[in-house]
């Protein structure tokens, strides 16, 4: 199976790039299933019903999120109606929406997607490792799901790496989001799980992690915020990872980074 994961969409620039390029990527790479993290898609903060529709229409099978998932109030109700929109699985009981789902893929296959969020340098949530363990124990690779994707939305690289090794041999892909910078450590872990610490962002990289530079620089140099941060509007680089799995085991045969457009050097799967 061929899987595509695209990192955090930041604002209109990132949205436009994904909507334009995702159909071409699905066709050109023979993608069977695509996940997009879009927690920063609405002006850099959250996601809306209309943005969800546009991303699904462009070819996203599932939308994952993170700590900004509920920044737009309409998401509190929309996420209950749209099972393909996930929030972190380790939010407290009673939080609207779900953090995991089993979704149909090409050829009648099934893909389990788990959206988890780290706790180091982030808001206090339930234990992400216990939450992921619970889901993996209930839907084992090749017994229930043909592929399993874990989006680990976290600040600390150590926490993301730990999740990768925690899931090794039990998931097809563990990929980090939230940092908005693509890492150079795409690899297959010893027991067969594809891993990359951060997928990067679908954003304008002439920015500070996708945001216009002036306000972040002001805050760092003066410690005085003077306005709301706004997404940068230049041409976006589309960042993510491509994974091919073994149909017999559901584990990874290869993982390759993907970068397309904008300022970063292009990297496309062969």
**Cβ proximity of 4 and 240 under 8 Å:** yes
| In a domain? residue 270 | no
Single pTM value for the model: 0.97
Tell me the three state secondary structure of residue 158: helix
For 80, the domain range is: 2-260
Query: What is the 3-state composition of the chain as percent helix, strand, coil, each rounded to the nearest 5?
Result: 25, 30, 45
- What pLDDT, in 10s, does the model give residues 209-243? 999 999 999 999 999 999 999 999 999 999 999 99
- What pLDDT, in 10s, does the model give residues 115-159? 999 999 998 899 999 999 999 999 999 999 999 999 999 999 999
Domain total in the chain: 1
Q: How many CB atoms lie within 10 A of CB 220?
A: 9
pLDDT of residue 236: 98
pLDDT of residue 37: 98
pLDDT of residue 151: 98
Alpha-carbon dihedral 138, 140, 142, 148, rounded to 10 degrees:
100
| In a domain? residue 128 | yes
Classify strands 8-9 and 62-64 as parallel, antiparallel or unpaired. unpaired
| In a domain? residue 108 | yes
pLDDT above 90: residue 270: no
| In a domain? residue 266 | no
Q: Which strands, in side-by-side order, build the sheet including 252-260?
A: 62-64, 33-37, 2-6, 238-245, 252-260
- What pLDDT, in 10s, does the model give residues 42-78? 999 999 999 999 999 999 999 999 999 999 999 999 9
To the nearest 10 degrees (0 to 180), the angle between helices 49-58 and 11-29 is: 20
Is 68 a catalytic site residue? yes
User: Where residue 72 sits, what CATH number does that domain have?
Assistant: 3.60.21.10
| In a domain? residue 268 | no
Q: How many CB atoms lie within 10 A of CB 72?
A: 18
| In a domain? residue 144 | yes
Q: For a pLDDT cut of 70, what percent of the chain falls above it? A: 100
Q: Which of 108, 107, 122 is nearest to 155 (CA)?
A: 122
Tell me the three state secondary structure of residue 12: helix
Given the residues 68, 153, 178, 180, select the one marked as catalytic.
Answer: 68
| In a domain? residue 56 | yes
Helices and strands: H and E segment counts in the chain: 6, 13
| In a domain? residue 161 | yes
Mean pLDDT throughout 6-18? 98
């Amino acid at each position: 199976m061929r899987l595509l994961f695209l990192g955090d969409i930041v604002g209109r620039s990132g949205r436009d790039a994904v909507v334009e390029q995702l159909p071409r990527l699905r066709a050109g790479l023979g993608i069977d299933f695509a996940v997009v993290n879009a927690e920063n898609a609405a002006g850099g903060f959250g996601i809306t019903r209309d943005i969800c529709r546009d991303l699904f229409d462009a070819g996203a099978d599932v939308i994952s999120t993170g700590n900004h998932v509920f920044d737009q109030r309409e998401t509190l109700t929309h996420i209950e109606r749209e099972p393909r929109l996930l929030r972190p699985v380790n939010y407290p009981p009673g939080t609207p929406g779900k953090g995991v789902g089993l979704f149909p893929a090409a050829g009648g296959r099934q893909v389990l997607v788990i959206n988890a969020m780290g706790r180091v340098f982030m808001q206090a949530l339930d234990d992400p490792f216990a939450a992921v363990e619970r889901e993996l124990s209930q839907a084992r690779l090749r017994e229930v799901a043909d592929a399993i994707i874990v989006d680990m939305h976290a600040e600390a690289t150590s926490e993301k790496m730990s999740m990768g090794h925690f899931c090794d041999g039990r998931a097809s892909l563990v990929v980090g989001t939230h940092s908005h910078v693509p890492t150079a450590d795409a690899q297959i872990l010893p027991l067969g799980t594809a891993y990359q610490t951060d997928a990067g962002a679908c954003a304008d990289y002439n920015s500070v992690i996708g945001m216009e530079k002036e306000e972040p620089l002001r805050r760092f140099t003066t410690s005085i915020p003077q306005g709301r941060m706004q997404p940068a509007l230049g041409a976006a680089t589309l960042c993510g990872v491509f994974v091919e799995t073994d149909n017999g085991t559901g584990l990874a045969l290869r993982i390759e980074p993907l970068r397309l457009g904008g300022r970063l050097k292009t990297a496309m799967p062969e």
